[in-house]
Amino acid sequence: MKENKKTVLITGASTGIGRAIAIRLAKEGYKVFAGIRKKVDKEEIEGLDKNIQGVYLDVTNSGSIEKAFWYVIKNTDKIDVLINNAGIVEASPVECLDIKRLKEQFEVNTFGALAVAQKFLPLLAGSRIINMSSDASTGLFPYISAYCASKRALDILFNSFYLENKDNIKVISIKPASIKTPIWNKSAKRARDYFDGINEAVRQKYEKDLLILEKNALDNNTKGLEVYTVVDTVVKAIKAKNPKASYNVGFDATLAQWVSKLPIELSNRLIKGRLKI
């Protein structure tokens, strides 16, 4: 039976930020469709709150998006908030960045978000789309340039969507600094597996930088901000009568935005100095 509650669809809700947002909104009385990819994650998240309904949704798979749409439409006539949260981080020096991995980065973080929004448009008139962007969208971080580019592209595409759309859909970009979530271990592992298999000469050239990169990624497990900082910002963006187009979460996100406004030569010098590369 269709319910009369405010409804949210969130992609990538199995872990980290997505999971935390799903739980918080469910506790506040929203009906939450939580995008997951595994049966075990569906059972786990549905067990947390009766307002959460797991929905199989792989954002890179058009068949999966189609099925998710028909599943959701059976349960509601309207999505009040779509949260494009699913994301991965590909790390590599550009010199040996595998094009397949670069495409995968964009498939999840950028094209997937757009594909989901396009499919669910019939349920979104007058609603809000919240994109989990990143400080990487304004930052120019070496070794994760694929990630930065995917988030920048996400923000550019959706800003145009906001300007163009005739359905009064607001678009909000959330730009967190580093947050303590499983994404950092996953990314470090993916990068490590990849570098172990690349050309020895290239690997040796970048070995020192890659170790710093891996350490920085793993340090985020302790030094990163708590997940609730992002959740609070999302809740604020949902409840604000006139939400901002973009919210930074954490000082580093504001710093990245500030640095992005400097002449490129100066910002490059600052980044090189800070990373000691």
Ligand X SMILES: NC(=O)c1ccc[n+]([C@@H]2O[C@H](COP(=O)([O-])OP(=O)(O)OC[C@H]3O[C@@H](n4cnc5c(N)ncnc54)[C@H](OP(=O)(O)O)[C@@H]3O)[C@@H](O)[C@H]2O)c1
Residues marked active site are found at: 147, 151
Query: Would you count residue 16 as binding ligand X (CB under 6 A)?
Result: yes
Query: Would you count residue 250 as binding ligand X (CB under 6 A)?
Result: no
Distance (Å, rounded) from C-alpha 259 to C-alpha 272? 13
Query: Would you count residue 108 as binding ligand X (CB under 6 A)?
Result: yes
Using alpha carbons, select from 1, 75, 83 the residue that is nearest to residue 34: 83
**184 vs 206, beta carbon nearer ligand X:** 184
Query: Would you count residue 87 as binding ligand X (CB under 6 A)?
Result: yes
Among 8, 10, 11, 130, binds ligand X (CB under 6 A): 11
**81 vs 132, beta carbon nearer ligand X:** 132
Within 10 A of 104 (CB to CB), how many other CB atoms are there? Answer: 17
Cβ atoms of residues 33 and 81 within 8 Å: no
Query: Would you count residue 93 as binding ligand X (CB under 6 A)?
Result: no
Query: Would you count residue 181 as binding ligand X (CB under 6 A)?
Result: yes
Q: Closest approach of Cβ 250 to ligand X, in Å?
A: 9
Using alpha carbons, select from 32, 69, 68, 38 the residue that is nearest to residue 50: 32
Distance (Å, rounded) from C-alpha 4 to C-alpha 33? 14
Cβ atoms of residues 231 and 224 within 8 Å: no
> Half-sphere exposure of 188 toward its Cβ, with a 13 Å CA cutoff?
16
Length of the chain: 277
- The DSSP element (H or E) to which 253 belongs, if any, is helix 251-260
Cβ atoms of residues 96 and 198 within 8 Å: yes
Among 22, 23, 72, 86, binds ligand X (CB under 6 A): 86
Query: Would you count residue 186 as binding ligand X (CB under 6 A)?
Result: yes
Query: Would you count residue 176 as binding ligand X (CB under 6 A)?
Result: yes
Query: Would you count residue 88 as binding ligand X (CB under 6 A)?
Result: yes
Q: Closest approach of Cβ 175 to ligand X, in Å?
A: 7
Distance (Å, rounded) from C-alpha 86 to C-alpha 17? 9
Among 224, 231, 234, 248, binds ligand X (CB under 6 A): 224
**51 vs 187, beta carbon nearer ligand X:** 187
Instruction: Please report, as ranges, the residues that interact with ligand X according to CB under 6 A.
Output: 11-18, 35, 37, 57-60, 85-88, 108, 112, 132, 134, 176, 178-179, 181-183, 186, 220, 224
